[in-house]
Chains A and B, each alone.
Chain A
Amino acid sequence: MDFLLENIITGLSIGSILLLIALGLAIIYGTMGVINMAHGEFVMLGAYATWAMNAFLGVGFLASLIVVFLGVACLGYLVERGVIRFLYRRPLDTILATWGVGVMLQQIVRLIAGGELRYVEMPPALSGTVSVLGITVSGYRVFVFLFVLALFAATWYLMYRTAFGTKLRAVVQNREIASCFGINSSRIYSLTFAYGAGLAGLAGALVAPLKSVSPEMGTTYVVDAFFVVVLGGVQSIFGTVASAFVLGEATGMLAFLWNDTIAKALVLLGIMILIRFRPQGLFTSKARR
């Protein structure tokens, strides 16, 4: 019984990291239809920024989160203004262009910070362990889990309970009509993209103490996160949450039964089959005609 519980908790932890990374991507893809391949690099930049602030400026971990969020959001804003906004009519090409942006960001970091692995210290207050239902869990993982839930709540509030969110949803429904009602749709898109990028930066900062930081770290994340988003369904952030935890649990369980590699292969195979039969995602109702 204990190992089952242990597996569920491992799954929740994997799921929370997946959700953390996927949330920004889900917002960008779900609202703007842009497949942001540079998302992984935003994550990577967040991780590097945390490392740099810690190593050179001595800024504390929690304090650096705010700076990271704002900094990466600004970068996202620039990327949207400079590249993405020209491609709204060619959705497939956004994959290519953002991938190019990702390569550039990766190389810039490699040129400035070098290619070697970097490590970020866990904040001492969170480095202990806690006991959850009799299972010993790392305190930091619990912190990440709770932080992600809080971020999700904030995002939901932003999307469904603020004037900005209402405008955004109007633009998503019909850009032209929304513009006719005086909504500055290009500004809404820029800000949304910036917000998604900022979330990615936060994700990078939060995973940095768990994994090593390197210029390539984003590439693996973006693929996983993308599958989460597609599986969850394009226009549903609740779907993203559900699919992140489903994938997290599935990966955790399968890895326990076989090994990490086979688990990943099986999960991908499952995703392929799901996309084939439900391209609209697992957790959305039938698409409107």
Chain B
Amino acid sequence: MSEHLRIENLSVEFDGFKAVDNLNLSVDKGELRCLIGPNGAGKTTTLDLICGKTRSSKGSIQYRGREIANEPEYLIARAGIGRKFQVPSVFRQLTVRENLEVAYCRHVGVFANVVRSGHSPESDGLEKLADFVGLSGYLDEPAEHLSHGQTQWLEIALLLAQDSELILLDEPTAGMTHQETRKTAEICNRLKGKHTIIVVEHDMGFVREIGEVISVMHQGTVLAEGTVEEISRDERVKEVYLGSVGIDDA
């Protein structure tokens, strides 16, 4: 397998506080990587740095051999990186169908889109997608009418419509029921291989279900890396989780 994303010596500082500190991470193509770690370990910030939401202070992020650190978000997205946020962020006044149309972003230029209808011929595919996440009955409903759980599913559908090569998921199962979590895991497993996925997650059950390689973050850097078994045996990992629930019972 070839290397898809490579992060070297990445650091970012907020008013003297180092949220990410000399981080090194390498993810192969088609891999599903879980990022875990205690609160404040810098997991979300790492995703922010990859997708361009936050500017790094130093270090490099290479995506398919191309340096993308500190590029504008839209160029990073065009290069093939998609992101799901922790707080569901959909377009509340647009209908579910319109949300999907926006996410279906094969053409991003403004002039091309002025002459293109808002209802693309691909909308059949988008309807299937809505069906897949259980929102087919809500296609013409504004997204603000959806419940919290449905909004989460809409966001996942948006990611699927965007069809990025590298997908960054920030706590995809937050607020989901047990069954919904299992379905999310199923989706992740289906996507892996074709897409490269990085998941930030707290729910260890979910991580077990999907995880191949896990990177444990602590104080802005990678503390340990390995399979679920290796990680749960690691003494240092136990130590940083000490006082919190503990990795086995989570």
Please tell me whether chains A and B touch each other in their complex, using a CB distance cut-off of 8 A.
yes
Binding site for B on A (CB under 8 A): 286, 288-289
Question: Complex formed: what's the CA distance from A288 to B16 in Å?
Answer: 12
For residue A289, which residues in chain B have a CB less than 8 angstroms away from its CB? 14
Interface residue count on the B side (C-beta < 8 Å): 2
For residue A286, which residues in chain B have a CB less than 8 angstroms away from its CB? 15
Q: How far is the CB of B93 from chain A (nearest CB, A)?
A: 13
Between A and B, 3 residue pairs with Cβ closer than 8 Å are A286-B15, A288-B15, A289-B14
Q: How far is the CB of B18 from chain A (nearest CB, A)?
A: 14
For residue B14, which residues in chain A have a CB less than 8 angstroms away from its CB? 289
Question: Complex formed: what's the CA distance from A286 to B13 in Å?
Answer: 14
Binding site for A on B (CB under 8 A): 14-15
Query: What 3 A-B pairs come out closest when comparing CB atoms?
Result: A289-B14, A288-B15, A286-B15
For residue B15, which residues in chain A have a CB less than 8 angstroms away from its CB? 286, 288
Question: Complex formed: what's the CA distance from A289 to B44 in Å?
Answer: 14
Question: Complex formed: what's the CA distance from A286 to B15 in Å?
Answer: 9
> Closest residue to A286 on the B side, CB-wise?
B15
For residue A288, which residues in chain B have a CB less than 8 angstroms away from its CB? 15
Q: How far is the CB of A201 from chain B (nearest CB, A)?
A: 40
Question: Complex formed: what's the CA distance from A289 to B15 in Å?
Answer: 9
Q: How far is the CB of B68 from chain A (nearest CB, A)?
A: 22
> Closest residue to A289 on the B side, CB-wise?
B14
> Closest residue to B14 on the A side, CB-wise?
A289
Q: How far is the CB of A177 from chain B (nearest CB, A)?
A: 18
Q: How far is the CB of A29 from chain B (nearest CB, A)?
A: 25
Question: Complex formed: what's the CA distance from A199 to B15 in Å?
Answer: 36
Question: Complex formed: what's the CA distance from A288 to B15 in Å?
Answer: 9
Q: How far is the CB of B24 from chain A (nearest CB, A)?
A: 24
Q: How far is the CB of B105 from chain A (nearest CB, A)?
A: 28
> Closest residue to A288 on the B side, CB-wise?
B15
Q: How far is the CB of B53 from chain A (nearest CB, A)?
A: 11
> Closest residue to B54 on the A side, CB-wise?
A289
Q: How far is the CB of A44 from chain B (nearest CB, A)?
A: 38
Question: Complex formed: what's the CA distance from A288 to B14 in Å?
Answer: 9
Q: How far is the CB of A289 from chain B (nearest CB, A)?
A: 6
Question: Complex formed: what's the CA distance from A286 to B14 in Å?
Answer: 11
Question: Complex formed: what's the CA distance from A289 to B19 in Å?
Answer: 12
Q: How far is the CB of B57 from chain A (nearest CB, A)?
A: 14
Q: How far is the CB of A223 from chain B (nearest CB, A)?
A: 31
Q: How far is the CB of B87 from chain A (nearest CB, A)?
A: 15
Question: Complex formed: what's the CA distance from A127 to B207 in Å?
Answer: 80
Question: Complex formed: what's the CA distance from A286 to B16 in Å?
Answer: 13
> Closest residue to B19 on the A side, CB-wise?
A289
Question: Complex formed: what's the CA distance from A273 to B242 in Å?
Answer: 52
Q: How far is the CB of A112 from chain B (nearest CB, A)?
A: 43
Q: How far is the CB of B97 from chain A (nearest CB, A)?
A: 26
Question: Complex formed: what's the CA distance from A156 to B14 in Å?
Answer: 30
Question: Complex formed: what's the CA distance from A184 to B82 in Å?
Answer: 43
Question: Complex formed: what's the CA distance from A114 to B177 in Å?
Answer: 67
Question: Complex formed: what's the CA distance from A61 to B14 in Å?
Answer: 53
Q: How far is the CB of B177 from chain A (nearest CB, A)?
A: 27
Q: How far is the CB of B155 from chain A (nearest CB, A)?
A: 23
Question: Complex formed: what's the CA distance from A289 to B14 in Å?
Answer: 8
Q: How far is the CB of A93 from chain B (nearest CB, A)?
A: 15
Question: Complex formed: what's the CA distance from A28 to B14 in Å?
Answer: 30
Question: Complex formed: what's the CA distance from A289 to B54 in Å?
Answer: 11
Question: Complex formed: what's the CA distance from A289 to B16 in Å?
Answer: 13
Q: How far is the CB of B74 from chain A (nearest CB, A)?
A: 20
